[in-house]
Structure 1
Amino acid sequence: MVALIAGSLLARLAGLLGVLALDGWQPALCAGLALMFTLTGVAHFTGRRAEMIAMVPPALPRADLLVTGTGVLELAGAAGLVLPATRPWAAVALALLLLVMFPANVHAARSGLTLGGKPVTPLVRRTVLQVVFLAACAAAAV
């Protein structure tokens, strides 16, 4: 959430200061979303990878491949948000990805898992965040 808000505000400020590609709230929101998905996508391959693998519900096969695949999709979606021609498609694809990945958040919350040494976000708060992220993707898509 911090990356989304801070990234969007900084991008909007850059737009107001003359960066034409960021002139307006929608391009700034897309920049914030791109930052958020870049950070989460990179986390799929770095120090938090093992914790993300543990978040995958046990009924799903090859949690390691699922984490790799979702990380690649998050990074590709972030890149797609930067380009105006692909922005709507990327935003819709990322919204669908958020929906597909939500069961991992439910599993993590119900199992009392940790991320970065801290308990994962409680389920009610995570659900609210997920709705905010979906709304941001919807706003980026139109």
Structure 2
Amino acid sequence: MIVLVLLLATAAFRGLGALGVRRYGDWRVAAAHGMAVMLLLTASAHFVPADVTVMPTHADLTAMVPPFLPYADGLVYLTGVLELIGAAGLVLTATRRAAGAGLALLFVLLLPANIYAVIADVSLASPLWQRIPEQLLYIACALYVASRSETKKEVLV
């Protein structure tokens, strides 16, 4: 589901570019904005109380934290905040490359939690086995956004 948000949002932004919105005339910029939309959704799960069942909740994400890491509750809040900061960084031209690189690193650091959740059979609304390939896609997308070549001037809107 989250992958669809990333893909559809990216396609929508690139579609706007095809319709003449110059800011989204580049696939990397469209991908950056698509990833920002996705991150707003995923970051919100870090703050959702346990009684909401539509998406993973804070308690679900806390259960995914490997037991050797201290302060699981705080780590979930921290990663949610980092995702929100990353989303903001992706839409700002001046910070897009740094945000993409930082998010790629964050996604690499979050990969052990997804692996642990699969091994420990943590119960979530979505199948855990798909989270690992999704995480690899997010890393690739963040690196793609971070690799932005500066061959043309971007429109600052």
Identity across aligned pairs (percent)? 42
Q: CA deviation at 1:128?
A: 2.4
Matched, 1:133 2:138: yes
The whole-number CA distance in structure 1 between the counterparts of 2:145 and 2:124 is: 28
Answer with 89-98 or 45-54: which moved more. Answer: 45-54
Partner residue, 1:73? 82
Answer with 23-32 or 81-90: which moved more. Answer: 23-32
Unaligned 5+ segments in structure 2 are 50-56, 148-157
More helix by share: 1
Matched, 1:90 2:99: yes
**What RMSD in Å do the two structures reach over aligned CA positions?**
1.2
The whole-number CA distance in structure 1 between the counterparts of 2:61 and 2:119 is: 15
Which of 42, 45, 55 is the matching residue for 1:43? 45
The C-alpha deviation readout for 1:87-110, integer Å capped at 9, x for no partner, is 000000000000111111011111
Partner residue, 1:27? 29
> Considering only CA atoms, is the larger Rg found in Structure 1 or Structure 2?
2
Partner residue, 2:155? none
Q: CA deviation at 1:55?
A: 0.6
Which amino acid is the alignment partner of residue 79 of structure 2?
Answer: T
The C-alpha deviation readout for 1:21-64, integer Å capped at 9, x for no partner, is 21111111111111111111111001411100111011111101
Partner residue, 1:17? 19
Q: CA deviation at 1:138?
A: 1.0
Count of matched residue pairs: 138
